[in-house]
């Protein structure tokens, strides 16, 4: 009886060894395993002793599957079949439709039933939105009554080769019941990378209303070329140059103002170890009418995460907005220092 059971065990092990995918190399070596795959000049098989092995197809003489696999042949047909050697460098393909023999070189790809077809390129990475909201409030009471509030919203749609930025920001402040800041800005910035290189083209649009600086409506439209000097996840430097159009109307009796000009931009985004990120943006937009007619905008901000959270930040920064042509009672340079509580999400 013991010999009978021992014989059954040996037979079961032999049948298990026989029921396995198999690769025979041109040097005579035999590799048995499972999950036989062929694609892109490689033959892959998963073994118990070494995990997944990848072998150049040029070294493979024959292949055998013990279960049906998906087979893609040179004529474009795809079927579920068992593949076995047929001699003379041919493969025997046995499916529900029958059996055929064809040169092994005509087997374009093999993959497990139910797995993704490796001959179909994966879809491009989907675009994804990321959002950000920031708020800062300041006040003072006593001999002087002061109150100020600033807020901004930002949405960024990032794809494999392009990026769309939409933003809205506003500021309001008063001192002793007299308003000294009242500004709202809405804008969009679109950038498309050229063939996944460091080169890009961009377009930017911004609308602004500034009650204190006598600006009823300020439109800026820009289009041009961008180049990334550095383009890493933790370190980015980008330069831009383009053409701009500006149109401005005033709250008083001044005539509307429109002009064509140039646009120059600088941007960097640097991760500072694990405790912060420094961002700087500078734009210079001179007009063609006069070298003395231009606008310079600068903003630098340091974002520091709060604790171990990935969504909350403290943002400290400074912005400078210089307009060479303003009303007689308005300063050319407008500087703002800010500290914001920022929440970001996806």
Query: In CATH, what number is assigned to the domain containing residue 189?
Result: 2.40.160.40
Q: Can you give the pLDDT at residue 6? A: 40
11-56: pLDDT as tens digits = 333 444 445 788 888 888 888 888 888 888 888 888 888 888 888 8
pLDDT, tens digit, 9 for 90 and up, residues 132-146: 999 998 888 887 888
Kindly state whether residues 183 and 269 are assigned to the same domain: yes
Is 6 part of any domain? no
Q: Which of 112, 146, 176 is the last residue of a domain?
A: 112
Beta carbons of 128 and 346 less than 8 angstroms apart: yes
State in Å, rounded, how far the first CA of the chain is from the last one.
Answer: 68
Residue 154 sits in the same domain as residue 89 = no
Answer whether residue 57 is part of any domain. Answer: yes
Is 84 found in the same domain as 141?
Answer: no
The residue among 310 and 284 whose pLDDT is bigger is 284
The whole-angstrom separation of Cα 57 and Cα 218 is 65
Q: In this predicted structure, what is the pLDDT of residue 327? A: 67
Confidence (pLDDT) at 78: 86
Does the pLDDT of residue 70 top 60, yes or no? Answer: yes
Please state the φ and ψ torsions of residue 15, each to the nearest 5 degrees: -65, -35
* Predicted confidence (pLDDT) at residue 316 exceeds the cutoff of 90: yes
DSSP string, 33-79: EEEEEEETTEEEEEETTTEEEEEEGGGEEEEE-SS-EEEEETTS-EE
Looking at the predicted structure, is the pLDDT value of residue 69 above 60? yes
Helices (H) and strands (E) in the chain, counts: 1, 22
Query: What's the Rg (C-alpha) of the chain?
Result: 34
Are 90 and 133 found together in one domain? no
Residue with the bigger pLDDT between 143 and 267: it is 267
- In this prediction the pTM is 0.66
DSSP string covering 125-194: PPPEEEEEEEEEEEEE-SSS-EEEEEEEEEEEEE-SSEEEEEEEEEEEEEETTEEEEEEEEEEEEEEEES
* For range 214-235, the mean pLDDT: 93
Within-domain flag for 5: no
Please report where in the chains the tokens 């800005």 appear, as a residue: 185
- Pair (152, 232) in one structural domain: yes
Band of residue 72 on the pLDDT scale cut at 50, 70, 90: confident
How much helix, strand and coil, in percent to the nearest 5, is found in the chain? Answer: 5, 65, 25
pLDDT above 60 (res 5): no
Tell me how crowded residue 196 is: count the other CB atoms within 10 A of its CB: 8
What pLDDT, on a 0 to 100 scale, did the predictor assign at position 341?
95
- For the chain, the average pLDDT equals 86
9: helix, strand or coil: helix
- Quote the tokens at residue 116: 């993704």
Quick one: 70 and 218 in the same domain? no
**Are 161 and 223 within one domain?**
yes
Residues spanned by the domain of 26: 20-112
Residues 132 and 278 in one domain: yes
Q: In sequence order, which residues have a C-beta less than 8 Å from that of residue 174 and are 6 or more positions away?
A: 146, 147, 148, 180, 181
Is residue 230 very low, low, confident or very high in pLDDT (cuts 50, 70, 90)? very high
Is residue 30 in some structural domain? Answer: yes
- Whether residue 325 sits in one domain with residue 250: yes
**Two structure tokens written together for 324:** 């060479």
- Say whether pLDDT at 103 is over 80: yes
Number of domains into which the chain is organized: 2
* Dmax (CA) of the chain: 113
Listing DSSP states for 142-157 in one string gives SSS-EEEEEEEEEEEE
Would you say residue 269 lies in a domain?
yes
Residues 133 and 51 in one domain: no
Separation of CA 321 from chain center = 30
Domain boundary among 78, 112, 146: 112
Candidate ranges 175-179, 214-218, 294-298; pick with highest mean pLDDT: 294-298
Of 67, 82, 112, which one is at a domain's C-terminal end?
112
* Same domain assignment for residues 190 and 328: yes
Distance, in Å, from the CA atom of 29 to the CA atom of 304, rounded to the nearest integer, reads: 59
Looking at the predicted structure, is the pLDDT value of residue 3 above 60?
Answer: no
Angle at 251 between CA 170 and CA 184, to 5 degrees: 10
Whether residue 239 contacts residue 266, with contact meaning beta carbons closer than 8 Å, is answered with: yes
Alpha carbons within 13 A on the beta-carbon side of 81: 23
The 10 Å Cβ neighbour count of residue 310 is: 10
Nearest 5°: phi and psi at 141?
-130, 160
pLDDT at 7 over 50: no
Weakest-pLDDT range from 74-78, 145-149, 268-272, 276-280:
74-78
Asked if 208 and 301 sit in the same domain, the reply is yes
């Amino acid at each position: 009886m013991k010999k009978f059971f021992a014989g059954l065990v040996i037979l079961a092990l032999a049948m298990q060894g026989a029921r396995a995918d198999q690769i025979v190399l041109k040097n005579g070596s035999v590799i048995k395993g499972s999950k036989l795959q062929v694609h892109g000049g490689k033959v892959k098989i998963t073994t118990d002793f070494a995990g997944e092995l990848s072998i150049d197809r040029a070294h493979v003489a024959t292949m055998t599957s013990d279960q049906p696999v998906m087979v893609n042949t040179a004529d474009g047909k795809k079927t579920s079949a068992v593949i076995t050697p047929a001699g003379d460098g041919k493969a025997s393909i046995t499916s529900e439709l029958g059996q055929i023999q064809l040169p092994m070189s005509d087997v374009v790809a093999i993959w497990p039933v139910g797995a993704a077809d490796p001959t179909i390129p994966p879809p491009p990475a989907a675009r994804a939105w990321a959002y950000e909201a920031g708020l800062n409030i300041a006040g003072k009471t006593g001999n002087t009554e002061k109150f100020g509030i600033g807020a901004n919203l930002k949405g960024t749609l990032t794809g494999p080769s392009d990026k769309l930025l939409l933003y809205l920001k506003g500021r309001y402040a008063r001192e002793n019941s007299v308003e000294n800041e009242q500004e709202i800005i809405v804008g969009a910035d679109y950038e498309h990378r050229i063939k996944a290189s460091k080169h890009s083209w961009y377009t930017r649009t911004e609308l602004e209303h500034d009650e204190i600086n006598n600006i009823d409506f300020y439109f800026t439209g820009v289009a041009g070329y961008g180049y990334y000097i550095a383009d890493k996840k933790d370190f980015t430097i980008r330069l831009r140059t383009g053409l701009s159009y500006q149109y401005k109307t005033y709250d008083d009796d001044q005539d509307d103002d429109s002009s064509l000009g140039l646009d120059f931009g600088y941007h960097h985004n640097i991760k500072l170890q694990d405790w912060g990120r420094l961002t700087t943006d500078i734009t210079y937009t001179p007009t063609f009418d006069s070298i003395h007619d231009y606008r310079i905008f600068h903003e630098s901000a340091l974002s520091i995460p709060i604790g171990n959270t990935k969504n909350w930040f403290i943002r400290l920064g400074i912005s400078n907005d210089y307009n060479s042509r303003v009303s007689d009672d308005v300063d050319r340079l407008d500087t703002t220092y800010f500290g914001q509580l920022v929440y970001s999400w996806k």
